[in-house]
Amino acid sequence: MDKAEILKLVGKRIKELRESKGISQVELVGRMNGEIDPTNISRIESGRTNPTVFTLFRISEALEVSLNELLKI
């Protein structure tokens, strides 16, 4: 599996979890205390950027799932 494929899978997983909880991208940013630009969430979900481990951790907290659950791909 190459880097681009991993980023797309992680992004897809984040989007699935977010949508399953009925949360918009803007709401997700709000749950992260607004310390990330909403366009970054879009780029992460589409696999166009490589988020840091800390960003992934913050997303998992905002979605109320473990980091392990977030990264199940």
Q: Which domains does the chain have, with CATH numbers?
A: 3-70 (1.10.260.40)
pLDDT of residue 34: 72
Q: Check if the beta carbon of residue 42 is closer than 8 Å to that of residue 26.
A: no
Tokens at 56, concatenated: 């992934």
Walk along the chain (73 residues) and give the pLDDT tens digit of each residue.
999 999 999 999 999 999 999 999 999 999 998 789 889 999 999 999 999 999 999 999 999 999 999 999 8
Model-level pTM? 0.93
Residue 40 CB partners (closer than 8 Å, separation 6+):
49, 51, 55
- Tokens 């599996």 map to which residue? 1
pLDDT of residue 33: 86
